[in-house]
Amino acid sequence: MDEREPADPLKALGERLEKARRGREEPAATGGGSRTGVPQNALGLAFRIGVELVSALVVCVGIGWLIDRWLGTRPWAMVVFFFLGAAAGMLNVYRAINGLGLSAGYRQTSDEKTVGRESHED
């Protein structure tokens, strides 16, 4: 018969959680980023800005084109909706840069922008 004590699964889980937390905090302390030196957060923000600007234009021009076909007012609705799409895209870019598009009622403070997202434990 085996005299050893069975391993405590909760203790092993706690140790793995602590190891994962330490591994997650270390890149934040060094500034984050990938091995190439480009911060992943900045690359993601740049991609988001491009996608939001282009998608607003495409959607609005598409709506203008459909209205033109329906009413037979070619190309006036498409021109009007092009400018509305450009304005909407620029507004989305402004919101993304200032952190206003994260979620309703939430805005990053200057501490969170420089350090990164941290969990606030009480």
The confidence band for 8, taking pLDDT boundaries of 50, 70 and 90, is confident
pLDDT at 57: 96
pLDDT at 122: 45
Report the C-alpha gap between 53 and 56 in whole angstroms: 5
The percent of residues in the chain predicted with pLDDT above 90, rounded, is 38
Q: How many CA atoms lie within 13 A of 26 on its CB side?
A: 7
pTM value?
0.54
pLDDT at 103: 59
pLDDT, mean over the chain: 79
| Interval 94-109 mean pLDDT | 70
Q: Answer yes or no: are the C-beta atoms of 92 and 53 closer than 8 Å.
A: yes
Report the C-alpha gap between 86 and 59 in whole angstroms: 10
